[in-house]
Amino acid sequence: MPDSSRVGNLKLLLYGAAAGLLYGASARLALRFYPGNGSGVMLAAFVFLIPLGMGFIPVFMAELKQAQRVWVWLFFPWIPVVAGCAAAMLAMLEGLICVVMFLPVALILSTVGGVLGGATGRVLRSRRSRSISLACIVFLPALVAPWEQKAFNHQDIRIVENVINIHAPADVVWRNIERVPAIRPQELPSSWSHTIGFPNPVEATLSHEGVGGVRNASFTGDVLFIETVDVWEPQRRLAFSIRAQTDRIPETTLDEHVRVGGPYFDVLRGEYRLEPLADGTIRLHLSSQHRVSTDFNWYARLWTDAIMADLQKRILVVIKQRCENAALLSGK
C-alpha cells in the first residue's frame, strides 16, 4: 500500500475511533440522568451494548471507504474503549476497580462489534441497508434499557470459603480470631484486589465474649463493619452477622457501583471454623456470605467471589503468621 494510501487509511481509522469514543462518552454522560432504579452505568445495556457500538462504529466507518484487514476488525475497536475508560477515570466518573471489572467484557464485545461493523460495511451494498444496520447498533441500548431490570435484575447470595493450615494449638488460634489487633502493613501479603482499590483490613475489636458480642472490623479508607456474634463455640466456631456502616464510607474510598452495603453488593455474614487435624495442626476455615444484585450477576459474581476470596486469604495469612509466632515463643 503506498504511503499516501496508508496515511489516508490511518485518518479514516482515527476519525472512526473518535466517533466510537464520542458515542461511548455521550452514553456515559446521558446515563447520569437515567430515571430508573440505580445507576444507569450498571445496566447491561451499558456494560455490554455500548462497547459493542464503540467497536462497530469505527470499523464500519472505515470499511465503507476502504477495505480493512482482519486485525483492524479484531483489535482496533479496543482503542476507543480504552480511551473512554481512561477519560472516565481522569474525569473522576469511575474508579480503577470499576474500570478493571468493565474492561475484559468491554474489549471482547468491542471486538464483536468490530467484526459486525467490518462485515456490514463490506457485505451490504445499499446505503439504506447500511444506515439501518448502523441505527440498530447505535440505538439498541436505548431500546433494551427500559425493560431489562424487570427481566434480568435479581439477587444472588454467594458463599466464599478459604482455608489455611496453622501449626499452633487451638487456643492460640482462637485468641487470634476472636479479636484481631491492629495489622501492620508489612504483615499483609500483596494483593491484586487492593491494587485495584479494595481497602486493606486494619483490626477487629470485640465488645465482650459470647453470643451478642459486637466486633468492629475496620478497614483503611474509614470502612467499618459491625459484626454481631451469633455463634460462639470457643476453639471450634465463631460466626457473626455483618452490617456495613455505609454512611461512614467516603465516596473516595469505594466507587459507588461497588460500595459495600450499596444496591449492588453487600457482605452479610462471616464465620471462622477450627478443624483439628491428626498431626496437631489446625485447619482454619474462613467463609463469608455476600449479596450481588445486578442485571448481570453471572458476570458480577465472578469479581465479587474473587475479591472476597483474595481478602479472606490475606486475613488468614496474617492469622497464621501470628499464631505460629506465638506458638513458637511459648514453646507449644
| Shared-domain flag, residues 161 and 145 | no
Q: Are residues 51 and 197 in the same domain?
A: no
Residue ranges in 270-296 assigned as alpha helix (H):
none
For residue 116, the SS3 value is helix
Q: In terms of DSSP bridges, do strands 223-233 and 265-276 run parallel, antiparallel, or are they unpaired?
A: unpaired
- Domain boundary among the residues 117, 150, 183 is at 150
At 240, which CATH number?
3.30.530.20
The verdict on 183 and 313 lying in the same domain is: yes
Q: Quickly count: other Cβ atoms within 10 Å of residue 103's Cβ.
A: 16
Residues 310, 161, single domain; the answer is: yes
Give the distance from CA 291 to its chain's centroid.
13
pLDDT truncated to tens, each residue of the chain (332 aa)? 456 677 778 888 889 999 999 999 999 888 767 666 556 788 999 999 999 999 999 999 999 888 899 999 999 999 999 999 999 999 888 889 999 999 999 999 999 999 999 999 999 888 899 999 999 999 999 999 889 988 999 999 999 999 999 999 999 999 999 999 999 999 999 999 999 989 999 999 999 999 999 999 999 988 899 999 999 999 999 999 999 887 777 666 667 777 888 889 999 999 999 999 999 999 999 999 999 999 999 999 999 999 999 999 999 999 999 999 998 887 66
Q: Are residues 254 and 284 in the same domain?
A: yes
Q: Could you tell me if residue 192 is left (phi over 0), alpha (psi between -120 and 50 degrees) or otherwise beta?
A: alpha
The tally of domains found in the chain comes to 2
Element (H, E) at 159: strand 154-166
Shared-domain flag, residues 144 and 162: no
Q: Which of 131, 150, 169 is at the close of a domain?
A: 150
Q: What is the pTM of this model?
A: 0.89
Q: Are residues 169 and 287 in the same domain?
A: yes
Residues 314 and 284 in one domain: yes
Same domain, 187 and 48: no
Domain that holds residue 104: 3-150
Residues 175 and 137 occupy one common structural domain = no
Q: Are 120 and 230 found together in one domain?
A: no
Q: What per-residue confidence (pLDDT) applies to 179? A: 96
DSSP readout, 54-93? HHHHHHHHHHHHS---HHHHHHTTHHHHHHHHHHHHHTTS
User: In this predicted model, what pLDDT tens digit does every residue of 54-104 receive, in sequence order?
Assistant: 999 999 999 988 889 999 999 999 999 999 999 999 988 888 999 999 999
Q: Of 150, 174, 196, which residue constitutes the final position of a domain?
A: 150
User: CA 67, 69, 75: angle at the middle one, nearest 5?
Assistant: 125
Q: What do you get for the CA distance between the two ends of the chain, in Å?
A: 77
Are residues 161 and 122 part of one domain?
no
